[in-house]
Structure 1
Amino acid sequence: MSDVDAPVCWLCGRPLGARVQQHHTVPKAKGGRSTVPLHPICHKAIHAHFTNAQLMRQGADRARLLENAELAGFVQWVANKPPDFHAPTRTKRR
């Protein structure tokens, strides 16, 4: 498989590494079935910024998620990191 055909993360667009998580764009608890591949750090970032209710309303729309300034900043920050990069994810207090 060439780099052009390598699977990429649904959120950040970087090539996926050894660890891949499947994210329900509409939470499973809210009836979602479709999943997309994500880096673990990207998956944690989504859930740190959105509740299941919010994801139910907009989760399948990547562009709407990236309207959140903090998540967009995270995607910009992680853009040049290697595929298996990991760091603690800051969570919001709800």
Structure 2
Amino acid sequence: MPEPIRLPPQPDACELCARSVALTRHHLIPKALHDKTYVQKRYARSERITATLWVCRACHNQIHRLFSEKELALTYNHREALLSDERLRSFVAWLASKPAGFMPRP
């Protein structure tokens, strides 16, 4: 019997801005693309499912504002790659200084 796939546990703070707020799971390889051949060739099923980050709603919204699903799957598919983008890095730095209850305007 195959080993069950275990998702990473939820941390106490956003994995990008480090604020202690409610968190959402960001799929580093977007679920909508899991059945695409180019995604299946690059990533094992377990990797497609478990490659996640726990992020606050503000960081999650910003990720999806900046990148297409295909860009996320092919280029920005881990924390360091996301933070390599200056636009996201500067947003995260700005947000990190805000209080836990702060939510940027859309």
Superposition CA RMSD, Å:
1.7
- Structure with higher Rg: it is 2
Runs of 4+ deviating beyond 3 Å: none
Q: 1:64 to 1:78 in 2, by over 3 A?
A: same
SS in 1 for 2:54: strand
SS in 2 for 1:33: helix
Q: Which structure features the higher share of helix residues?
A: 2
- Give the match for residue 22 of structure 1: 25
| Runs of 5+ unmatched residues, structure 2 | 1-10, 35-47
| Runs of 5+ unmatched residues, structure 1 | 1-5, 90-94
Give the drift of 1:84.
2.8
Q: State which of 21, 39, 43 in structure 1 corresponds to 2:56.
A: 39
Normalised TM-score (structure 2)? 0.67
Normalised TM-score (structure 1)? 0.75
Indicate conservation of the 8 Å contact 2:82/2:88, yes or no.
yes
Question: When the two structures are aligned, how many residues end up with a matched partner?
Answer: 82
Report Cα offsets for 1:9-44 as digits up to 9, x if no partner: 1222222x2x32111111001123233221100100
SS in 1 for 2:19: coil
